[in-house]
Amino acid sequence: MKKNSLPTVITIVAAVLAIALAVWGGFAFCTQVTIADAQLYALIPIYVILVVLGAFLDELVHEGAHFLVGAILAMGVKVPKIRIFKSSSVEMYPKGVKGMRLRYILTAAAGLFFDLLIVVLGIIALTAPTVPAFFAVGLPYAFYSFVINVVPLEYGAGKTDGLAVIEAIRNDDSTKVMFAILKVQGLVNGGKLLREVPESMLLDVPQIQEDDVNFIMLTQLRCEYYEAVGNDSEAYKYFLRYKEIIRYLPGEYTKGEQREEYSDDEIAEAQVKPGQIPTKPQEAEPEPETEPAPAPEVTAEPAPEPEAKTETENKEEQ
């Protein structure tokens, strides 16, 4: 089995099992729940509507867990978008550097934890006669969300929560670079100026591949850092390097924006000014218009008469 096909297989398996749970839950709901004098044909659409609402609620709980835990741990999680059956991501803007690794792991795992709680509650509702089957309406989507997020895989839209947690625990070279970036952001978000950050935090990191997302972000951060400290030559070097490798950046990091922002000709023509990183080369500004110089004064002296030329000289001129 190809590695790239594994996410598709996991998604299909999770969807099939979620449908099976939905059928099981539907049977329990329609046989146990009494809504006025509603017959079976009326209970089925009601259950379907509740399952859809349960999916929305579970997605809200999953992403809300990332947000709330991140807020408590000062990880600065941006409010995520709620999208059912679509991938979503969590953006972190941490404050401070203490316990960064643990805070990151807890924030990444928060969604999985609450998905699992909903799954457990749903299973109990379907197996325990004393618990109403109504509490199982969130089970199908919660199970689906938990499975596709807990398996350590990288989908086209990014890494799963499970992979993010495992990489943070393993702490390989790429993850060390990521934590170095997060710590710099934590210092800046905590009130320190970027130029006040120790240079070693950006340089004393493992060497990783240039197509690694963390390497691309580190290159951008180095460019911004050297611009902040006024080292224009280093800033421009990393600016050019960032331009070369930005093509490797996955689409979810650019939010649909054009990644090839600079052409080779524009980069070649770019000039670094003191204290400034070039964005796009500006067109040459037109020179200010000046008043025409005054014509030389003409004297009233008569022009000298032309000298007489010999016949030979006249022929040579002709």
Last residue of a domain, one of 269, 291, 306: 269
Query: 149 with 248, same domain?
Result: no
Q: Letter for the amino acid at 164?
A: A
Query: 204 with 105, same domain?
Result: no
With respect to residue 317, please indicate whether it lies within any of the assigned structural domains.
no
Last residue of a domain, one of 169, 191, 209: 169
- Split into its structural domains, the chain has a count of 2
Query: 154 with 200, same domain?
Result: no
pLDDT at 162: 95
pLDDT at 24: 93
Render the burial of 158-168: b for 16+ CB within 10 Å, e for the rest.
bbbbbbbbebb
Query: 52 with 99, same domain?
Result: yes
Query: 164 with 188, same domain?
Result: no
Query: 80 with 152, same domain?
Result: yes
With respect to residue 93, please indicate whether it lies within any of the assigned structural domains.
yes
| Distance from the Cα of residue 272 to its chain's centroid | 28
With respect to residue 21, please indicate whether it lies within any of the assigned structural domains.
yes
With respect to residue 208, please indicate whether it lies within any of the assigned structural domains.
yes
Query: 12 with 42, same domain?
Result: yes
With respect to residue 89, please indicate whether it lies within any of the assigned structural domains.
yes
pLDDT at 33: 67
Query: 67 with 88, same domain?
Result: yes
pLDDT at 90: 74
Last residue of a domain, one of 139, 169, 199: 169
User: How far apart are the C-alpha atoms of 235 and 219, rounded to whole Å?
Assistant: 10
With respect to residue 223, please indicate whether it lies within any of the assigned structural domains.
yes
Per-residue pLDDT of the chain (318 residues; tens, 9 = 90+): 555 788 899 999 999 999 999 999 998 888 876 664 555 667 888 889 999 999 999 999 999 999 999 999 999 888 766 666 666 667 888 999 999 999 999 999 999 999 999 999 999 999 998 888 888 999 999 999 999 999 999 887 778 999 999 999 999 999 999 999 999 999 999 999 999 999 999 999 999 999 999 999 999 999 999 999 999 999 999 999 999 999 888 766 655 444 445 454 544 444 333 333 333 333 334 444 444 444 444 333 444 444 444 444 443 343
Query: 114 with 44, same domain?
Result: yes
Residue 238 makes CB contacts below 8 A (sequence gap 6+) with 219, 220, 222, 223, 226
With respect to residue 60, please indicate whether it lies within any of the assigned structural domains.
yes
Query: 7 with 38, same domain?
Result: yes
With respect to residue 19, please indicate whether it lies within any of the assigned structural domains.
yes
| Distance from the Cα of residue 91 to its chain's centroid | 7
Range of the domain at 229: 173-269
Query: 159 with 217, same domain?
Result: no
Q: What percent helix, strand, coil does the chain show, rounded to 5?
A: 60, 0, 40
Q: Which two tokens stand for residue 245?
A: 């490798």
Query: 141 with 181, same domain?
Result: no
Contact in structure between 32 and 125 (CB atoms under 8 Å): no
pTM: 0.74
